[in-house]
Amino acid sequence: MARLIWRVAPWAVVLALAAAWEIFAASGAVTPFMLPRLSVVLERIRADGASGELWQNLAYTLYRSFAGFFIAGALGIPLGILIGRNRAVRWLFDPLISVGFPMPKIAFLPIVTLWLGFHDVSKITMVVLDASFPVVTAAIAGTMSVERELLWSARNCGARGAALLREVVLPAALPQIFTGLQVALPIALIVAIVAEMKMGGVGLGGAMITATRFADSPGVFAGIVEIAVAGYVLVKLMAVLRRRLLLWHPEALAPATV
């Protein structure tokens, strides 16, 4: 019973918030333009889904998000491991990462637009630019946190070069690398939506801006709900993937009982 309560409790909060939204919007305290009722917003989402517009916008946004996310992972993980393993490379890249990580990369949007235009390449580039920093820093931290005893034992057993990285360093650093990927995935979704809002085109962000231009309040709030649901599903899928791939790690084991 206690386990069931813990599982249901978060959804009870969501349902309470949804009920408060519906009641407040129907009370007359605000106009339907300022805050449409949740039932109206859900009906709009259903209509967009039936017409296919929702799935088209979602597909474009997820395509840009995943493309940028996978490129960021493919570039960031090897670079982070290299920086963590090589002192000279770390000395070279450390100032760049220290300055670039806290900097809002959306500031580069005008430059990327001038260079690459308003199409998917520029939007994916912005995603890569933002999502790569969490991956790189997590890979660096994971690589540098590998216990020296493991490295010494592997070397004593004859492991060298690529074998040492593949058999020891990468598995030991994988939990922190996954943490960086879990941070980078919602960032990729956020940046893709912001880029769509700024550059236009098909996508959840572009649909919200179009609804704003036509004073379509239900369409704007429908976009917010759709983004929230998409983000939640992506985060949960990433957590499931982490548990599947880290079955050997202590974090995947059941907690000890007294």
**Burial label, 221 (beta-carbon count in 10 A; 0-12, 13-18, 19+):** buried
Overall domain count for the chain: 1
In angstroms, the CA 64 to CA 139 distance is 23
State both tokens at 202: 């098909």
| CA-based nearest residue to 133, from 170, 94, 100, 171 | 100
Is residue 148 one of the residues assigned to a domain? Answer: yes
- Per DSSP, the three-state class of 167 is helix
**Picking from 74-83, 94-103, 229-238, which range would have the lowest pLDDT averaged per residue?**
94-103
pLDDT digits (tens, 9 = 90+) for 79-97: 998 998 888 888 888 888 8
Is residue 183 one of the residues assigned to a domain? Answer: yes
The predicted structure's pLDDT at residue 75: 93
State both tokens at 219: 């369409």
Q: What is the DSSP string of 75-141?
A: HHHHHHHHHHH-HHHHHHHHHHHHHHTTS-GGGGHHHHHHHHTTSHHHHHHHHHHHHHHHHHHHHHH
CATH number at residue 102: 1.10.3720.10
pLDDT band at 6 (very low <50, low <70, confident <90, very high): confident
In angstroms, the CA 231 to CA 72 distance is 18
Residue 256 has pLDDT above 50, yes or no: no
Is residue 249 one of the residues assigned to a domain? Answer: no
Is residue 92 one of the residues assigned to a domain? Answer: yes
pLDDT band at 159 (very low <50, low <70, confident <90, very high): low
What is the residue range of 212's domain? 36-243
Is residue 252 one of the residues assigned to a domain? Answer: no
Is residue 177 one of the residues assigned to a domain? Answer: yes
Is residue 161 one of the residues assigned to a domain? Answer: yes
* Reported pTM: 0.86
Task: Read off the amino acid at residue 240.
Answer: V
Is residue 74 one of the residues assigned to a domain? Answer: yes
pLDDT digits (tens, 9 = 90+) for 111-134: 998 898 888 899 999 999 999 999
